Amino acid sequence: MIDFTKMEGCGNDFIVVDGRSQRLDADLSGLGRRLCARTTGIGADGLIVLRAATDSDAAYAVDIINASGLPAEMCGNGARCVALYAIKHGIAPPQHHFATLAGRIGARLLDNGEVGITLTAPTGVALNQQVSAAGRSWALDYANTGVPHAVIWVDEPLDRVDVPGLGPALRHHPLFPHGTNVNFVARTADGLAIRTFERGVEAETQACGTGASAAALLAWLRGYASTQVRVHTRHGGVLSIAIEPVTASVPRLRLAGPAHAVFTGRIAAAGHGSAMAI
């Protein structure tokens, strides 16, 4: 049996498991697929397993598995959720660092109850990349904010964009040899609005923290936004991104937003189990 906590940040939902005290299947990809299945499992966009840290400067380490079973280097909302879990369970103090495949992430519990994280330095930033997909040409921007993100700026209302149809064609484009997340972004009166087709989930999610951060960074580089950016998610919640220039070419990105524990439960690792709401 596996004890878990279901968590969410702006509708981006995760199964958090403390792997320090539980023996888990070595095949985390298979476990992630089973547990994240929305009809036969708990249902989530990803599985996050908390591990003991090997880095003395990190309070713990995490393994992140997307719903399809694809391991992820990083996940913005997932990082905020697991940080809250660690704080609430006494694993880490209200301000701490933890290790991901993308690098070390800083986290802290904010005075307003939200959770903020400091992302690893963005890489691969590029504007106005021209690609052909889904029978048309696209101009897109790109940034890796822990995981790769293509950003397409749209003028039409976002609810009219065929994210499920267009997302896969762009997600697998040859320009991105390891695949990419695909974000459709519109400018709003107070910031940005975003819809994301997530690599690894292979579907649109209700929010994407690293995608919102990439969109904010690229908007700032284009002169669309200041260094404080509000990003409205598909879920309806708002993520806040602060852009802090460190050098002329490398800014620091801080992501903040709500995170909540939804329920705790226990489930069989290889079959059906039971869950108990809190």
Condensed to tens digits (0 to 9), the pLDDT of residues 76-87 reads 999 999 999 999
pLDDT of 275 over the 90 cut = no
pLDDT of 53 over the 50 cut = yes
Residue 81 a catalytic site member: no
- From 13, 76, 3, select the one nearest 47 (Cα to Cα): 13
Of 1.20.1340.10, 3.30.365.10, 3.10.310.10, 3.20.20.140, which CATH number belongs to 123-257?
Answer: 3.10.310.10
pLDDT of 233 over the 50 cut = yes
Residue 208 a catalytic site member: yes
Of 3.10.310.10, 3.40.640.10, 3.40.50.620, 3.40.50.700, which CATH number belongs to 2-114+260-276?
Answer: 3.10.310.10
pLDDT computed for residue 270 by the predictor: 72
pTM over 0.75, yes/no: yes
The number of CA neighbours under 13 Å toward the Cβ of 153 is: 18
Q: Where are the domains of the chain?
A: 2-114+260-276, 123-257
In the numeric block, which tokens belong to residue 81?
A: 């959720």
Catalytic residue among 10, 36, 81, 208: 208
Catalytic residue among 10, 36, 75, 81: 75
pLDDT of 55 over the 90 cut = no
The predicted-structure confidence for 125-136, as pLDDT tens digits, reads as follows 999 999 988 888
In whole angstroms, give the CA distance from residue 109 to residue 256. Answer: 10
The predicted-structure confidence for 59-80, as pLDDT tens digits, reads as follows 999 999 999 999 999 999 999 9
Q: What is the DSSP letter of 224?
A: S
Across 16-25, 59-68, 138-147, 226-235, least confident range: 16-25
The proportion of the chain whose per-residue pLDDT surpasses 90, expressed as a percent, equals: 85
pLDDT computed for residue 162 by the predictor: 94
